[in-house]
Amino acid sequence: MKNKKILIIVGARPNFMKAAPLIKEFKKLTTFKPILIHTGQHYDNEMSDAFFKDLDLPSPDVYLGVGSGTHAEQTGKIMIEFEQVCFETKPDLVIVVGDVNSTVACALTAAKLSIPVAHVEAGLRSFDRTMPEEINRVLTDQISNYLFTTCEDANKNLMREGIPKNRTFFVGNVMIDTLVAHVKLAKKSRILEKLKLEEDRRLKRYAVLTLHRPSNVDNRPILEGILRALNKISEKIPIIFPAHPRTISRIKNFKLDDMVFFLDSYSLNNLREKIILMPPLGYLDFLCLMSNATLVLTDSGGIQEETTILGNPCLTLRNNTERPITVKEGTNIIVGSDPKKIIKTAVHVIENGVQRKKIPKYWDGKAAERIVKIIAKLS
């Protein structure tokens, strides 16, 4: 049977990096027709367009345009809109990636319509049910027919939760597929030149920061404590902060503006030693910036994985991680939101670096290839 319809769901920027290699692999086979559905959960069209261009992703076949809202509103809107897409396209399989609201909404919709669901990046657990992403992960795994995992820890989590072993497939990390495919291209980015970071790297050392999780940015005392710690660190090394719009809004609303330097354009005349907040970056620019950083500070899961491959020291500003393999085998250190611990660990890493351990199994740029081969056999 030819042209089996595969709906591939994206909703937020991390999804784009995970979907790109899957679409590329499916297009190599005449037996499948991949259809890209963008829910519009991440509704910044300019930034979405930049990521699609950087990743050489085709324009979405369907754009739902659900926009923002509470978790319930957003999830409900996606389910209503996606159900109509399923009625119209009659897909043979729905593939969801990651752990955003689009992931669980489309998985649940498909499951209720008896359409097989594949979850890419299944089995990750932080064991923190206060994180909306944790709820999304657990529920999506329970209703998926095929679960593609990035590491042995994920396999064990699924086994403990009663997922039959024949539904679980250890394939590696599609996020790393995208990194491997683009790391050389990212070297051509001019972001270092624009930020005056090109000349004499020994003197122009810098850190990169990302911060967006509600637990960090929606609580004024916690956000202020993190920013105070970062200001102390910036006395030793400047911190480049491509900021999430949500975080910018919180910094302004909490009147913490004086703790960062707002960079309105991408050009700096003098790189001052402080937290330099700038607009969000496209994938290639950010990959270039991160690849050359002395230190990365983040509360993002994907960046923990990327720094593990790049070999950059990574400090995770959370009390837990759903990616413990990045601590055991990578360059990730969990520091939470305690200012003293953040400062102490960052200073140690800046002065001494971090021991690079090893690259996790199957994080080799071929995860999507494995996934598509398995789906072809199961079809």
User: Annotated active-site positions, please?
Assistant: 212
Query: If we measure between CA atoms, which residue out of 231, 298, 241 comes closest to residue 268?
Result: 241
In one-letter notation, the amino acid at residue 179 is L
Q: How far apart are CA 354 and CA 366, in angstroms?
A: 27
As a dihedral over the C-alpha atoms of residue 356, residue 212, residue 7, residue 75, rounded to 10 degrees, the angle is 140
Query: If we measure between CA atoms, which residue out of 345, 362, 363, 343 comes closest to residue 354?
Result: 345
Q: How would you label 296-327 residue by residue, b for 16+ Cβ within 10 Å and e otherwise?
A: bbbbbbbbbbbbbbbebbbbbbbeebbbbbbb
Q: Three-state DSSP class for 349?
A: helix
The alpha carbon dihedral of 225, 227, 230, 234 has a sign of negative
Where would I find the beta strands (DSSP E) of the chain? 4-10, 32-38, 62-63, 93-97, 117-122, 146-149, 168-170, 207-209, 239-242, 261-262, 275-278, 295-298, 314-316, 332-334
Strand partners, 275: 239
Q: How far apart are CA 331 and CA 325, in angstroms?
A: 10
In one-letter notation, the amino acid at residue 321 is T
To which residue do tokens 């999430």 refer? 244
